[in-house]
Amino acid sequence: MITEFFNENATLVLFLHVISAIIWVGGMIAIRLAVHPAMQNIEEPKVKMARTLEILRNFFSIVTIAVALIIVTAVVMSIGMGFKGTDLSIIVHAKEAIWLIMTLNFGVMIYRRNRAERAFLSGAMQEAKEMLAPLAKFMIPVNIILGIVALYLGITLRGF
C-alpha cells in the first residue's frame, strides 16, 4: 500500500520532504546568522527578550509542522523506494539517526523556550536568559550542522 502510494505520488512526497527540510534547516540558519545578531542591537532587555520569545514561538510552530512532514515522508520514501536490505540502507539509517537527534534537540529547545517565557512573564529575566542561552550558542548550531549532513545524505540517496 505505501509502495503503491509512493509510486503514484513520488514527486509530491519528495517535494514535501525537501521543502520541510529547507524550512527547518534554512530557518535555523536565518535565525542564527541573521535574526540573532540583529536582536543584539535592541538595548532594552525586556523588549529584546519579548521579541526573542515571539520569534522562537512563531518559528517553532512552523518547524513543528515541517518535522512532522519530514518524518511521514521519510517513512513513505524509505518503504516506497525499497531501501530495506540494500547497500543504501545504511545511508537511510544514518539520515534517520540524524533527524532523530535533531528532533530530540528541537524538543528540548521548545521546552527551554517555554520555560524561558514562563520565567520572563513572572519577572525572572536572568532565569529566562539562562534558559535561552544554549539555543543560540549550541543547540541551533548543532541542528544546522546535522541538518546539512542529512541534506547531503539525501542528495546522495537520490543520486543512486
Helices (H), the chain: 2-21, 27-30, 36-39, 45-80, 89-121, 125-134, 140-158
* pLDDT at site 160: 57
Tell me the one-letter amino acid at 12: L
pLDDT tens-digit map of 75-93 = 999 888 887 778 888 898 9
- The arithmetic mean of pLDDT across residues 62-83, rounded, is 92
* pLDDT at site 39: 96
- Give 87's DSSP letter: T
Residues in the chain: 160
Neighbours of 29 (CB within 10 A): 16
CA atoms of 4 and 47, how far apart (whole Å): 52
* pLDDT at site 3: 87
pLDDT tens-digit map of 99-146 = 999 999 999 999 999 999 999 999 999 999 999 999 999 999 999 999
| Distance from the first to the final alpha carbon of the chain | 24
